[in-house]
Amino acid sequence: MKNFTICCVLLFTMAHTTFGQTKDPPKRIAVDLGGEVTLILVLIPAGEFNMGDESGYDSEKPVHKVKITKPFYLGKFEVTQQQWLAVMENKPDPKVSKIPAGVAWDDCQAFLVKLNAKIGMQGGKFVLPTEAQWEYACRAGSTTKYSFGDEEARLGDYAWYNANAGGLPHPVGEKKSKAL
């Protein structure tokens, strides 16, 4: 199996009863990773959306309705190098940037094991999001091509990609946020 470099985006699932304990679960949760490093999680409500893209790759077709039956928390940003070091029990260096930690899938699994053991949040568990959970969160309730509309010219306001990143990773949080 080949290892691909990915950036971890964490999903935190909580037991249905945990969500049921409060009418209004917090919209954001700050998780203390130690060493003055935090992980911000954003509540993604249950709902449904049309998943896929008829004008995209064959693997994205056909567009189909998907129902997300339980709310979940998703990392506001990709896991940064600083967060990675805090969980993997290396002393976080204040000079370590907030650039996403580009790691292999297997390394993400080891990170999740350590994070779940370290944090031990009652009634919940950190995992990687499914493709449906990821796309649902990225769409942020929109029905347009992008969460901000259909205008590709505005993509650079919201994301780093080949045309504007200069071949380099950039710190998280530098672009406009979608409506979460």
Closest CA to 78 of 26, 119, 125, 41: 41
- Measured distance CA(63)–CA(52) in Å, rounded: 4
Give 119 or 18, the one with higher predicted confidence. Answer: 119
Question: In whole numbers, what is the pLDDT of the chain averaged over residues?
Answer: 83
Residue 45 confidence (pLDDT):
93
User: 175: pLDDT confidence band, cut at 50, 70 and 90?
Assistant: very high
114-168: pLDDT as tens digits: 999 888 766 678 888 899 999 999 888 888 888 888 899 999 999 888 999 998 8
Closest CA to 158 of 179, 130, 137: 179
The beta strands (E) that lie in 15-151 are given as 28-34, 37-44, 47-51, 64-68, 72-75, 102-104, 124-127
CA dist 19 to 25, 76, 127, Å?
A: 6, 19, 17
User: 2: pLDDT confidence band, cut at 50, 70 and 90?
Assistant: very low
3-state helix, strand, coil in the chain (%, to 5): 25, 25, 50
User: Quick check: 45 and 74 in contact, CB under 8 A?
Assistant: no
Closest CA to 138 of 54, 68, 82, 83: 68
Look up residue 36 and give its amino acid: E
User: 16: pLDDT confidence band, cut at 50, 70 and 90?
Assistant: very low
User: Quick check: 148 and 158 in contact, CB under 8 A?
Assistant: yes
Q: Is 84 left (phi over 0), alpha (psi -120 to 50) or beta?
A: alpha
50-74: pLDDT as tens digits: 998 888 889 889 999 999 999 999 9
> Is pLDDT above 60 for 173?
yes
80-93: pLDDT as tens digits: 989 999 899 776 55
